[in-house]
Amino acid sequence: MEKATFAAGCFWGVEATFRALPGVLSTRVGYIGGKTESPTYKEVCTDRTGHAEAVEVTYDPAKISYNNLLKIFWENHDPTQLNRQGPDWGTQYRSAIFYHSPEQQAAAQASKEALEKSHRYSKPIVTQMVPAETFYQAEDYHQQYLEKKGLASCHMKA
């Protein structure tokens, strides 16, 4: 089993997208990339912790590749929007890939470069690529939020 961590706006829709994939064993939403230890949702929403709302994906690489996870990541948000996705704005909604190994870093960088060369977007891709550090799990009510609320999606495709 391996882990992948992605930030692509509000974590509810991002989590639901990844949970639906065959080969994904589990997901959890939380906060990563900031300076505040053990932040709460309320603190992250102040845009002062430096953390992004993110999803940590545990997956079976024999059933789904990291490259396929990257493909889903790019297809399900707008990586040209700086610190926002749709109506949500602030650094906590930034686009970011938090890599767990040099291999993930290389794959993420290659996928970003391929997307840039495709000219799919007229604006530059602003997705950050940074090493995964401490992932702080969000409060229980955020875990599988859409599923708990009986909602199909809150996520907008790019």
Catalytic member of 4, 8, 10, 55? 10
Helix segments in the chain, DSSP class H: 11-19, 41-44, 66-75, 102-118, 145-149
Query: DSSP 3-state helix, strand, coil percentages of the chain (rounded to 5)?
Result: 30, 25, 45
Q: Retrieve residue 109's tokens.
A: 């960088």
45 labelled catalytic: no
- Residues labelled as active-site residues: 10
